[in-house]
Structure 1
Amino acid sequence: MSEAINVDDQNFGEVVLESEIPVLVDFWAAWCGPCRAVAPILDQIASEQSGKLVIAKLNVDENPDIASRYSISSIPAMKVFENGEIVREILGAMPKSQIERHLEGLL
């Protein structure tokens, strides 16, 4: 069973930007209720799409430089990277079916 990977300043480039498969980065914070609601959904998607999609979680409070680099102004925010480039953006908490709809065509 695959689950989400925690990323930070040290491993963001390797895990996200250099990945050979798409990576959904979940920008979150411990105090964010909607972020906590989305977390188990993303873990489930990570497990179901193992080998086709990486789910990475970045705590914006602990990694403000990366959050700033990608203009994160509200959370939860999810950005899908492919070949180091942002190809999709998903803002706000939503049900699993909606998140999967945003991922159509990538998997």
Structure 2
Amino acid sequence: MAQRLLLRRLVSLTFTKSSAPVRSRSSVVLPSLSSLSRHGTGPSIQHQAGPPTTRRFSKSPACSVTFNIQDQLDFTDRVINSKTPVVVDFHASWCGPCRTLGPRLEKMVAKQEGKVIMAKVDIDDHTDLAIEYKVTVVPTVIAVKDGDVVDKFVGVKSEDELEVFIKKLI
């Protein structure tokens, strides 16, 4: 599975870095329609894909405690170089236990009132980070302080166990 995720990531990077304009499927499959539109017998339809869009998240104070990692540079900037201890939640959208742990973890981090922040890493989107931090099972949560991993756990934990985990980080 990790190989498939890595391959998916590699393929998406290859397509993202391509600078050649992308023609629509209709202009590739039906060149006769394109030639008709150039001769004035029909409307000219030329579709070109624009640059890939990236999602931006709010940086308002309400959202500053929990954030989604966008890429490797974002991870380095917001987690490794953070002065505040960071709880990193490696999860996947298809993972049932992740859906249970995520809100619990967010709630416990929010209770700390800024003493700890939380980064969420989707392993399907960021396979390279999952491999780098030896994430083999989701959910996996690591604690990062001053750029170093100081603690880690795998699986769903109760709120009391999460509180103990976070208190050790502060």
* Shift in Å, 1:45: 1.7
> 8 Å contact 1:90–1:99 — kept in the other structure?
no
* Shift in Å, 1:104: 2.6
Instruction: Report the counterpart of residue 161 of structure 2 in structure 1.
Output: 98
Question: For residues 97 and 77 of structure 1, what CA distance do their matches in structure 2 show?
Answer: 17
1:39 to 102, 109, 119: 102
Question: For residues 46 and 61 of structure 1, what CA distance do their matches in structure 2 show?
Answer: 24
Instruction: Report the counterpart of residue 88 of structure 1 in structure 2.
Output: 151
The structure that is helix-richer by fraction is 2
Structure 1 ranges of 4+ moved more than 3 A: none
Q: Number of matched residues?
A: 107
Structure 2 SS opposite 1:105: helix
> 8 Å contact 1:4–1:42 — kept in the other structure?
no
Alignment of 1:29 with 2:105, yes or no, is no
Unaligned runs of 5+ residues in structure 1 are none
TM-score scaled to structure 2, two decimals? 0.60
> 8 Å contact 1:27–1:58 — kept in the other structure?
yes
Q: Which has the higher contact order (CA 8 A, sep 6+)?
A: 1
Tell me the alpha carbon deviations over residues 42-62 of structure 1, each in whole angstroms, 9 at most, x when there is no partner: 221222113200111000000
Question: For residues 47 and 103 of structure 1, what CA distance do their matches in structure 2 show?
Answer: 11
Report which of the two structures shows the higher radius of gyration computed on alpha carbons: 2
Alignment of 1:54 with 2:124, yes or no, is no
Question: For residues 106 and 66 of structure 1, what CA distance do their matches in structure 2 show?
Answer: 21
Instruction: Report the counterpart of residue 34 of structure 2 in structure 1.
Output: none
The structure that is strand-richer by fraction is 1
Alignment of 1:4 with 2:72, yes or no, is no
Unaligned runs of 5+ residues in structure 2 are 1-61
Instruction: Report the counterpart of residue 136 of structure 2 in structure 1.
Output: 73
Determine what percentage of the aligned residue pairs are the same residue: 32
